[in-house]
Amino acid sequence: MNPSYKKAPALSVHEKELLLNLVEKYKDVVENKKTDAVNFQRKQLGWKSISIEFNSMPNTISRTGEQLKKCWNNLKHRSRQEQCLHSRYIRGTGGGGPICPPDPLLEKVNNVIPHCNFRVEYLRDSDKLVSTCTVNSGKLIGL
């Protein structure tokens, strides 16, 4: 590590909200799932535009596009973890009080990336009685 390197302070809540608003503005570019060269270039330009707008705002510390991208990925990860813990709590058994209230910032992250929060419901449950069917002259009959 370079001894002259100085770590930037963590983003404040105000800066995270600002980042969230900018990502929402550019979400069609930065959250695009395509990985070809053209879209990769667009994503880099999108993060550069986000950093330029972010740095032009008052009361913010100058950040690079890579730093903002890392912060955004960390926010998405924390949001998914919180949803997983909440889901595990709801499906679990036992007593105890509710888990801590959801973070409003992470709730906003969920609204920006609803495609990442898609949940598949099970059509068949393990404790459901499954009826057996037999074939009788080409027709299915449930038993």
Binned at pLDDT 50, 70 and 90, residue 112 comes out as confident
Domain count, the chain: 1
> Is 1 among the domain residues?
no
> Is 127 among the domain residues?
no
**CA distances from residue 53 to 15, 26, 60, 75, 120 in whole angstroms, order as listed:** 12, 11, 11, 19, 37
Would you say 57 and 15 are in contact if contact means Cβ atoms under 8 Å apart?
Answer: no
> Is 44 among the domain residues?
yes
Residue type, 21: N
Give me the pLDDT at residue 104, please: 76
Structural domain for 108, as ranges: 13-120
What does pTM read for this prediction?
0.71
